[in-house]
Amino acid sequence: MTDAARGGFPDLQPVTPPPGFARFLTAMRRAQDLAVSAAPDAATWDDAADQVERLVELLAPFEADEGVGPANRAPSLPGTGSLLMPPYRIISFTDAGVELQVEFSRFSVGGNRAVHGGVLPLLFDSVFGMVIHATGRPISRTAFLHVDYRNVTPIDTVLTAKGWLREAQGRKAFVNAELLGPDGTVLAEANGLMIRLLPGQP
pLDDT band, very low/low/confident/very high, at 13 (cuts 50, 70, 90): confident
Residues 114, 100: Cα–Cα separation, whole Å: 20
Look at residues 17, 16, 22, 52 and name the one whose alpha carbon lies nearest to residue 34. Answer: 52
In the predicted model, what is the mean pLDDT of residues 76-100? 96
pLDDT band at 66 (very low <50, low <70, confident <90, very high): confident
pLDDT over threshold 70, residue 139: yes
- Domains in the chain, ordered, with CATH? 3-196 (3.10.129.10)
Rounded Cα–Cα distance for residues 202 and 13 (Å):
18
Given this model, what pLDDT does residue 129 score? 96
| pLDDT-based confidence at residue 168 (cuts at 50, 70, 90) | very high
Q: How far apart are CA 45 and CA 76, in angstroms?
A: 34
Q: How far from 55 is each of 4, 70, 74, CA to CA, in Å?
A: 40, 18, 22
pLDDT at 69 over 80: yes
Mean pLDDT of all residues in 75-97: 95
Neighbours of 72 (CB within 10 A): 18
Distance between CA atoms of 64 and 50, rounded to whole angstroms?
24
